[in-house]
Amino acid sequence: MKAIVAETFGGPEALAVVDRPAPETGAGELLVRVRATALNRADVLQRMGKYPPPPGVTDILGLEMAGEVAAVGPGAEGFRAGDRVCALLPGGGYAEYAVIPAGMAMRIPDGMTFEEAAAVPEAFLTAYLNLWRLGGLAPGHRVLVHAAGSGVGTAAIQLIREAGAASYATAGATEKLKAALELGAAAAWNYRDGSFREWLLAQTGGRGVDIALDFVGAPYFADHLATLAMDGRLIVIGLLGGGAVPDGFSLGTLVAKRLHVIGTTLRSRPVSEKISLTQDFAAFALPRFADGRLKAVVDSVYAFEDAAEAHRRMESNANIGKIVLRL
């Protein structure tokens, strides 16, 4: 089968289409003919040599895919050849075939394209994990969402809205702020105008937010502590701005406000946990995708052989939603 790997560590030009054996289907697994896959920041970092795949995971890039079931392994009940599914992957999405545990397969709703379905698993499952399981999201909560134009950001804003909570979005471009408001954000802030601290406190009547989804890391740490409400939770998803908190940081605010600081990744979690997460999310979200309450936000679609250009698009930070590769 055709697959895409980084033959050396470096820029988008390091990506190459290679021939690899198709994966074999084991007990409880499905072999899927991949029709579309989507880019994630982790793909860029892996290509650069900064985020190696977990032990035992293929070096083929790609953390999600959508396609048709090509073969059903022993014990993989409830599926048959031709079923349209999408799923999260530990790697291997940039390929013509992928194998997944049947429990991680989500049926693609009628009317949803493969390109749209490929934009769902990583972004929405990441948002769902961090909002509900780690953040304790509940109706009436207020949530700060950074990188509002990203795949996770656009997913989180919609999920927060569907939970009966309010989101406050930040991004660095007018178009991204507009998209966040259209998806249901209560208010939006351009981080190029400075710190979000005073704006967010004003928006929340001085109370602050119950949850902050943080992709940035150290540069925002003090502002997060200042804008979290009592018993608030800071969910650290990424470290795009660095991970070294400035010297002199005091734990006093954490204690006084009973704050939780939680670090998280999805890729390295056990398969059993991913299956449980997928099934909970599917029960909540698939009916909402089917009737239009939720939507996959697709920025652009590239041909499989144009993966390098797709990576350049991601690195430009111009995208709103997911960048997709069509096979």
pLDDT tens digits along 187-238: 999 999 999 999 999 999 999 999 999 998 888 999 999 999 999 999 999 8
Q: What is the pLDDT of residues 197-207, one digit of tens each?
A: 999 999 999 99
Q: By percentage, how much of the chain surpasses pLDDT 90?
A: 92
- 216, 148: one domain: yes
The domain of 305 spans 2-120+267-326
Q: Are 185 and 154 in contact (CB under 8 A)?
A: no
Does residue 63 have a pLDDT over 90? yes
- 252, 140: one domain: yes
Give the end of a domain, one of 263, 292, 313: 263
Give the end of a domain, one of 221, 242, 263: 263
Indicate the burial class of 182 (C-beta count within 10 angstroms; 0-12, 13-18, 19 or more): exposed
Hey, how many other C-beta atoms are within 10 angstroms of the C-beta on 78? 11
Average pLDDT of every residue of the chain: 96
- Write down how long the chain is: 327
**CATH code of the domain containing 107:** 3.90.180.10
Q: By percentage, how much of the chain surpasses pLDDT 70?
A: 99
- 131, 178: one domain: yes
Q: Are 321 and 299 in contact (CB under 8 A)?
A: yes
User: What pLDDT, on the 0 to 100 scale, is given for residue 245?
Assistant: 81
- 258, 284: one domain: no
Average pLDDT of span 13-34: 97
- 14, 106: one domain: yes
- 109, 176: one domain: no
User: What pLDDT, on the 0 to 100 scale, is given for residue 138?
Assistant: 98
Q: Please, which pLDDT band fits residue 10 given cuts at 50, 70 and 90?
A: very high
E strand or H helix at 136, and its extent? none
Single-letter amino acid, residue 48: M
Q: Which of 97-106, 237-246, 265-274 has the lowest mean pLDDT?
A: 237-246
- 194, 226: one domain: yes
- 257, 304: one domain: no
Q: What is the pLDDT of residues 86-103, one digit of tens each?
A: 999 999 999 999 999 999
Average pLDDT of span 239-266: 87
Domain tally for the chain?
2
- 99, 175: one domain: no
- 128, 246: one domain: yes
- 256, 275: one domain: no
Hey, how many other C-beta atoms are within 10 angstroms of the C-beta on 138? 12
Q: Answer positive or negative: Cα dihedral of 168, 173, 177, 183.
A: negative
Give the end of a domain, one of 244, 263, 282: 263
Q: Please, which pLDDT band fits residue 126 given cuts at 50, 70 and 90?
A: very high
Q: What is the pLDDT of residues 274-284, one digit of tens each?
A: 999 999 999 99
Q: What is the pLDDT of residues 283-306, one digit of tens each?
A: 999 999 999 999 999 999 999 999
Q: Which of 60, 72, 59, 58 is nearest to 28 (CA)?
A: 72
- 38, 150: one domain: no
**CATH code of the domain containing 239:** 3.40.50.720
Q: Which of 115-119, 230-234, 253-257, 275-279 has the lowest mean pLDDT?
A: 253-257
